[in-house]
Amino acid sequence: MSYTYDDKNIFAMILRGDIPNTTVKETEHTLAFRDINPQAPVHILLIPKGKYVTADDFAANASAEEIVDFWRCYGEIAAEEGLAADGPGHRIISNAGEHGLQEVPHFHVHILGGQGLGPILTPRG
Ligand code: AMP
């Protein structure tokens, strides 16, 4: 698989500090911040600091250290935001590529919660 990373994407600008963000958590390899257009009471975007375009790019090409750091951050955020699945729970989504309707070409996971979220997809007619 071959991916071309666009340094001009908006999350690259956030990582460079060119535009502001509302940071939830930051580690050596990972940043989490509030979505600018929240679709639920809690809507956080979790991104690696490395230049990965999609979830499958990250899975194939990130280091083990980056991958562990990313998913540990996810778990910590879920707990810290009161969304753990032994409590109310939450949903994670990662849109990838054309069929996934990915808007920003820097891998990110949406963490959504704070209310019942309904079905993930509308049944196909
Ligand atoms: P996706 O369609 O999965 O690529 O989602 C991109 C997400 O990025 C959307 O939910 C946007 O609301 C969000 N977004 C775009 N620009 C910003 C920004 N400057 N700060 C925070 N979230 C943003």
What residues make up the domain containing 77? 1-54+64-96
Higher-confidence residue of 47 and 121: namely 47
Residues contacting ligand 1 via CB (< 6 Å): 10, 19, 21, 35-37, 45, 95, 101-104
Per-residue pLDDT band at 1 (split at 50, 70, 90) = low
In a domain, 11, yes or no: yes
Closest ligand 1 atom, CA of 93?
A: 3
Residue 118 belongs to a domain: no
Active site residues per annotation:
108
Closest CA relative to residue 9, chosen from 54, 66, 39: 54
Query: Which tens digits make up the pLDDT trace of 32-76?
Result: 999 999 999 999 999 999 999 999 999 999 999 999 999 999 999
Specify if 109 maps to a domain.
Answer: no
Two structure tokens written together for 79: 């707990």
Q: For 89-110, what is each residue's pLDDT tens digit? A: 999 999 999 999 999 999 999 9
What CATH number is given to the structural domain containing 36? 3.30.428.10
CA 116–ligand 1 middle distance (angstroms): 21
Look at the chain and report how many structural domains it folds into: 1
pLDDT one-digit tens code per residue, 4-19: 999 999 999 999 999 9
Residue 23 lies in a domain: yes
**In this structure, is residue 73 part of a structural domain?**
yes
